[in-house]
Chains A and B, each alone.
Chain A
């Protein structure tokens, strides 16, 4: 199981991150300041660190310089949205940067992205009897290849990556069609119908009233 260290001084935010990580089946530990973080990192092994920049005692940038040699992927969590801070962080070699306020699925997507980059996450996602090959962009159900259009495939990946979480129509549009998409939300419903049919996921893809869809295990 993948272990993630959360370094965040705000209890509410730390707890929220933990909840989100739990839904994606990550194991997580929380520490509230830089000093604690250092001692925990020494004694335990982590696959990824979520690091708040504004920390008491030792700030995030200083802490990052100390843990950089360990080669653990680091994502900065910060309320500082100023460009210079971002540039500083990215130049220092941070893997990614998330500004507060952030949403759960954004956090999970970025974590997954970084982990895949470090080859800690496989390129194949399994869901029940279905295998989704992210790199080859193909889908097998019971060993048989299912033909999907590009948009259908992207939608499927989005669903399996966020299983058990409701994906609102807005989020789906934003992710699959992009911000500037002006079409109707009906398009999404049509694509969902086609996915249900092609994969036989009539019960798996649940419609959540007024919100969107959820892939249930």
Chain B
């Protein structure tokens, strides 16, 4: 059911509940009032007739007493007096009827007016009361009032009958007016509620439209409803929700893109050595070759096989790092530095380089093995970037905020600005052919370092200038 229909129905029901019974009650009251008035006026009218009859009787008695043969006023005289008197009193809509105690009709308007009655229970009048009844005769409604009158010890029953159809007709008229009025008001109500609900529903429709667009996948859509009411509030909250959903969706998208890129890169890194291994092996078994080609090909097969092996180990490390919980223990950085320097001496000697250590006595919570991997990767990178006879600086200190900083600084070739944001991505190599030539870099070192830093709740910062060198800092937050 549409909103305007609901508003209309509710309003209509409320209206009908209050308006119709109230109107009916009013009509009924006014009808009762009119009816009572008719009855009262009927009774007093009848009284008037009764009194007139009595005063006529008095006149008749006076008349009789003045005549010589005063034999007194008898019942026949009274009967005829009643007839002559009442005959002259034919009023519109008023009928009179007199019967004596033997139910003999003395006078009646009824016969002329075709009113025939069989059962007239109102005539059983308790001695001094007035009886009345309302009765439908034919299409009309009549008020019957009966009363006892005593004229010279003669008992009569005087009936006063009045046509009160108009009172009933009046009520019918009012009722039919009520129905018409009701219909008219309902029609007006429809128009009013449609206009009103259109006004109310307009922002809701806007909301619906926007939600539909958002549901269709366009999460950057916003609801443009600016009102201070509940709908405005709903729109506002809805927008907040849409922002949140959009953020989440973008985040998911980014994660899945990262994953896809990782897989693409991994596939590339796996396929390239495989291409060589399979290719050289195939070449050697299907072609005639000389000694040089033979040795070269086998060397390539060996190197690429080694490369695959290394890649597997690195990947394993990365996967393990992402999965496992590590127990961190307090450890001294300067001790670690000395150990790591020792293991790098052969590599440093090849390029005739020096690794200078400058360390404050600071301890951090760490997993020593992981920290070794991290340092080894950073120093390895520094050595690769450096020229012969260069120096690498390895230090640890507290900065102005007394955070512990571990720093590896080289004066090597540096990283181009474009690449600096990408260096932590798996498989990223600033110059791949150089990296390969320089001892088989995989582009996984810094991603590993990033994972290790994450485990230590530390942040990795990188600063580099092309041709001047690179500084990598590990900032501990604890």
Contacts and interface: CB of A to CB of B under 8 A. Distances in A.
A56 B264 CA distance: 16
B276 interface: yes
B432 to A, nearest CB: 5
B286 A10 contact: no
B287 A10 contact: no
Contact of B279 (A33, A104, A214): A104
Contact of B300 (A16, A23, A165, A211): A16
A176 interface: no
B286 A104 contact: yes
| Main SS at interface, chain B | helix
Nearest to B303: A12
B80 interface: no
A147 to B, nearest CB: 30
A162 to B, nearest CB: 9
Interface string A166-204: 111000000000000000000000000000000000000
A25 interface: no
B204 to A, nearest CB: 42
B230 to A, nearest CB: 47
Contacts of B304: 12
B278 A103 contact: yes
B285 A12 contact: no
Given A11-B433, A16-B275, A104 B267 contact: no
A23 B279 contact: no
A164 interface: yes
Interface string B418-459: 000000000001011100110000000000000000000000
A102 interface: yes
Interface residues of B, number: 31
Interface stretch (A42-50, A66-74, A79-87, A112-120): A79-87
A101 B274 contact: yes
Interface in B247-275: 264, 267-268, 270-275
Interface residues of A, number: 32
Contacts of A167: 286
B282 A104 contact: yes
B337 interface: no
B433 A100 contact: no
Nearest to A212: B286
A152 interface: no
Nearest to A54: B268
B275 A13 contact: yes
A20 B283 contact: yes
B107 interface: no
* Residue picked from B267, B275, B429, most chain A C-beta under 10 Å: B275
Contacts of A20: 279, 283
B267 A165 contact: no
B209 interface: no
A83 B432 CA distance: 25
Nearest to A82: B264
A182 B382 CA distance: 57
A84 B267 CA distance: 16
A154 interface: no
Interface string A9-36: 1111101100110010000000011000
A211 B285 contact: yes
B275 A80 contact: no
Interface of B: 264, 267-268, 270-276, 278-280, 282-283, 285-288, 293, 296-297, 300, 303-304, 429, 431-433, 436-437
11 contacts: A9-B436, A12-B300, A13-B276, A16-B280, A16-B283, A19-B297, A56-B432, A101-B271, A104-B282, A168-B286, A211-B285
Q: Across the A-B interface, give the 5 residue pairs with the lowest CB-CB distance, nearest first.
A: A166-B286, A79-B271, A101-B275, A12-B276, A100-B275
